[in-house]
Homo-oligomer: A and B are copies of this chain.
Amino acid sequence: MLRNPLLVPDLRELLQAGETEGLRDFFGDQHPAHVAEMIEDMEEAEGDSILALLPDRLQAEVMSYVDHNRQVRVVEAMTPVQAAGLFHFMSHDDRADLVNRLDEDRVDQILRNLAQTEREDIRRLASYEEGTAGAVMTTDYATLTPGITVREALTRLRHEAPDRETIDYSFVIDPHHKLEGIVPLKRLIMASPRSLIEEIMQRDMIVGRVDEDQEAVARKIDKYDLFAIPVLDANDVLVGIVTHDDAMDILRREQTEDILKFGGVSADPEADNAPYWQSGIVGVVRRRLPWLMMLLLAENFTYPVLRYFQWVGDKVKDIDLFIPLLIGTGGNAGSQTVGTIIRGLSLNEIERGDTWKVLLRECLTGLCLGLMLGSIGLFYAHFWRGQPWPLAELVGITILCICVWANTIGALVPLVAKRLGIDPAVISAPFITTLVDATGLVIYFEVAIIIFHPSSH
């Protein structure tokens, strides 16, 4: 069932022996992603050679699976005519992306060899703003008109199928290219051949807009379990489709991006979408430094707090020894809460009207956690660290207060951010942690003053 893949060394032999026909035959039946994998496993130059000698359609399919640097390299090694042939067979969204990575002069040379409609399609797709539906959509979808019969439609689709990304869904358009309905292939083969398309088409459609954020469009595809979503411009004219596989890629990238933001790396969408190795160290430093500087600025508030309460430290022996432990715990509790809230917001489980309920819930959770951890802290400070009861009580009470406080802040900040239209995942764990640190110290020392009544002079 699953064919044994030809091992890379065997492939190398075929390549060196110039057995191009043998190579073409071998690859002919493989999934393009498998072919791409084999190419990646070889030496760079060998992989490029293999890619260059694949038959047209397969080459175009495999191109979509290889990394962007290789795509650019291979195209730059081709003649303009060869490259134009590749573009002709490539899926429309992938070739537009590739064009955006090539040198402008080179692109002109290549496009000169294509028909005008194709040239215009490539230019148009490549011009959409990064991050929008327009930038990820493809234009090789099948269209039908409402007045034709099912038999005529099937004939048309049979004819167009080789050039279309998909014919599993056809899009029914009026003379102005406005979308009127959608016809799943399933429905076509089940219908009587004499029915008209307008009789069987699905009119209730979920659509995307060409300037809509690509993550929003991907979420629609996810929510409605769509195979593909039609993309319309401001005049309701159909301009492209986004397919489920692209949606999955979008969501995967955006969600790993959230992990980055959550870890406090600069929230720069273009850089975040870059692969790990792509930026040089200078680029990485440039991305991380702003946040670290900002957090350093925020963290510096602990200094005046400590200075202000320094006299308490002078009066109460060993009070300083617990500081990192206490604010560390506050930071951890806040971090947990932020993660939970961000997830709840991102899965739409927490909605607009829920703010007070969430705060109450997190506050109570902090109370319970604080009571338990505070008890642990109390006994830890006295029995393990040998501190007298007053100091141990201080530690216990502070842990309790810090947990309540950190949970409340950890919930409040992402909720407020969401309300203000800021991406809550940008409110990273470090940000919350830092907020909790300075205020946690205030709590510690104020409670200490209450417990120890040190005289200040």
A85 on the B face (CB < 8 A) = no
> In the complex, what residues of B have CB within 8 A of residue A277's CB?
349
Q: A222-B245, A255-B256, A264-B339 are in contact. Are A329 and B189 (CB under 8 A)?
A: no
A198 on the B face (CB < 8 A) = no
Q: Are A342 and B168 in contact, with the CB atoms below 8 A?
A: no
Given the complex of chains A and B, what is the CA–CA distance between A429 and B221 in angstroms?
A: 32
Q: Mark A209-249, 1 if CB is under 8 A from B, else 0.
A: 00000000000011111110000000010000000110111
> What is the CB-to-nearest-CB distance from A338 to chain B, in angstroms, rounded to a whole number?
6
- Contact segment of A6-14, A48-56, A101-109, A295-303: A295-303
Q: Mark A379-423, 1 if CB is under 8 A from B, else 0.
A: 010000100000000000000000000000000000000000000
> In the complex, what residues of B have CB within 8 A of residue A425's CB?
259
Q: Are A256 and B327 in contact, with the CB atoms below 8 A?
A: no
Q: How many chain copies does the complex carry?
A: 2
> What is the CB-to-nearest-CB distance from A118 to chain B, in angstroms, rounded to a whole number?
23
A376 on the B face (CB < 8 A) = yes
Q: Are A434 and B245 in contact, with the CB atoms below 8 A?
A: no
Considering only residues 171-189 of chain A, those with a C-beta below 8 Å from chain B are 178-180, 185-186, 189
- Contact segment of A74-82, A122-130, A133-141, A316-324: A316-324
Chain B: which residue is nearest A37 at the CB level?
Answer: B223
Q: Mark A290-316, 1 if CB is under 8 A from B, else 0.
A: 011101100110110011001001000
> In the complex, what residues of B have CB within 8 A of residue A31's CB?
204, 206, 224
Q: A31-B206, A303-B322 are in contact. Are A332 and B264 (CB under 8 A)?
A: yes
Q: Give the size category of A's interface with B.
A: 35 or more
Q: A296-B329, A299-B328 are in contact. Are A245 and B260 (CB under 8 A)?
A: no
Q: Are A264 and B180 in contact, with the CB atoms below 8 A?
A: no
Q: Is the interface of A mostly helix, strand, loop or mixed?
A: helix
Point out the residue from B167, B248, B373 that lies within 8 Å of A292, measured CB to CB: B373
Given the complex of chains A and B, what is the CA–CA distance between A407 and B325 in angstroms?
A: 21
> In the complex, what residues of B have CB within 8 A of residue A368's CB?
281-282, 285
Q: Are A336 and B247 in contact, with the CB atoms below 8 A?
A: no
Q: Are B204 and A365 in contact, with the CB atoms below 8 A?
A: no
A441 on the B face (CB < 8 A) = yes
Given the complex of chains A and B, what is the CA–CA distance between A282 and B371 in angstroms?
A: 13
Chain B: which residue is nearest A222 at the CB level?
Answer: B248
Q: A335-B264, A429-B263 are in contact. Are A343 and B256 (CB under 8 A)?
A: yes
Chain B: which residue is nearest A302 at the CB level?
Answer: B324
- Contact segment of A15-23, A153-161, A445-453: A153-161
Point out the residue from B223, B236, B288, B361 that lies within 8 Å of A33, measured CB to CB: B223
A38 on the B face (CB < 8 A) = no
Q: Are A281 and B429 in contact, with the CB atoms below 8 A?
A: no
> In the complex, what residues of B have CB within 8 A of residue A265's CB?
336, 339-340
> In the complex, what residues of B have CB within 8 A of residue A349's CB?
275-277
Point out the residue from B248, B307, B437, B438 that lies within 8 Å of A321, measured CB to CB: B307
Point out the residue from B206, B323, B340 that lies within 8 Å of A263, measured CB to CB: B340
A372 on the B face (CB < 8 A) = yes
Q: Are A320 and B331 in contact, with the CB atoms below 8 A?
A: no
Given the complex of chains A and B, what is the CA–CA distance between A185 and B433 in angstroms?
A: 54
Q: Are A310 and B321 in contact, with the CB atoms below 8 A?
A: yes
Given the complex of chains A and B, what is the CA–CA distance between A189 and B307 in angstroms?
A: 80
29 A-B residue pairings within 8 Å (CB atoms): A29-B203, A29-B204, A167-B186, A168-B227, A222-B249, A244-B244, A244-B248, A248-B251, A259-B259, A260-B339, A262-B262, A263-B335, A263-B338, A264-B336, A265-B339, A275-B344, A275-B347, A276-B340, A288-B365, A289-B369, A292-B336, A293-B376, A295-B329, A299-B325, A299-B328, A303-B385, A323-B324, A328-B434, A433-B433
